[in-house]
């Protein structure tokens, strides 16, 4: 006589396995970054947190207007955030900071290789005194 406990245990085990697999997948695809410089102000400010899609550009080049995280061409261990202003015929990127006076960007280091891309900024979490969440596609941009 089955009282249903075996079925519930199996269902709970499957659900827990699904949750773990989902968490691992999300962790590999998305990452959190903190803005540390003023190059993208006033759109992104020091202390803002970003959710970045690490796989956004696996099958395509970024489009002008998208905000990206990339390795600094002058110091590849350092990551910077910029807005794509153009993509060349050879797939190189022209990237700029929203705050021209505070930004070191393509105007300084030249076009950026696609291989330096880390990911696309999806969401921004503001500081406590600002609205909590806003999609980055609405015209928004990490230090540098």
Q: What is the mean pLDDT of the chain?
A: 83
The residue ranking higher by pLDDT, 30 or 132, is 30
Sequence spans of domains, the chain: 31-138
The residue ranking higher by pLDDT, 129 or 78, is 78
Q: Is the pLDDT of residue 111 over 50?
A: yes
pLDDT of residue 27: 60
Out of 17, 36, 82, 115, pick the active-site residue.
Answer: 82
Q: Are 28 and 52 in contact (CB under 8 A)?
A: no
> Which is the CATH superfamily of the domain at 31-138?
Umud Fragment, subunit A (2.10.109.10)
Residues 144 and 125: their CA atoms lie apart, in Å, by 19
CA torsion sign, 86 to 92 to 98 to 104? negative
Is residue 82 among the annotated active site residues?
Answer: yes
- Token pair listed for 52: 């970045």
Q: Is the pLDDT of residue 10 over 80?
A: no
Mean pLDDT value across residues 96-103: 96
> Would you say the pTM of this structure is higher than 0.85?
no
Out of 39, 41, 103, 136, pick the active-site residue.
Answer: 39
CA atoms within 13 A on the CB side of 38: 4
Confidence of residue 69 (pLDDT cuts 50, 70, 90): very high
Q: Apex CA 104: angle with CA 98 and CA 107, to 5°?
A: 90
């Amino acid at each position: 006589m089955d009282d249903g406990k075996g079925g519930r245990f199996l269902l709970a085990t499957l659900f827990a396995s699904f949750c773990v697999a989902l968490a691992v997948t999300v962790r590999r695809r998305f990452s959190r970054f903190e803005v540390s410089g003023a190059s993208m102000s006033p759109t992104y400010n020091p202390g803002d947190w970003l959710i970045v899609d690490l796989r956004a550009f696996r099958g395509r080049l970024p489009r002008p207007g998208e905000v990206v995280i990339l390795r600094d061409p002058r110091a590849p261990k350092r990551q910077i955030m910029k807005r794509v202003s153009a993509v060349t015929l050879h797939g190189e990127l022209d990237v700029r900071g929203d705050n021209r006076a505070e930004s070191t960007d393509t105007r300084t280091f030249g076009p950026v290789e696609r291989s330096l891309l880390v990911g696309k900024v999806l969401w921004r979490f503001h500081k406590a005194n600002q609205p909590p969440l806003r999609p980055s596609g609405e015209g928004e941009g990490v230090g540098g």
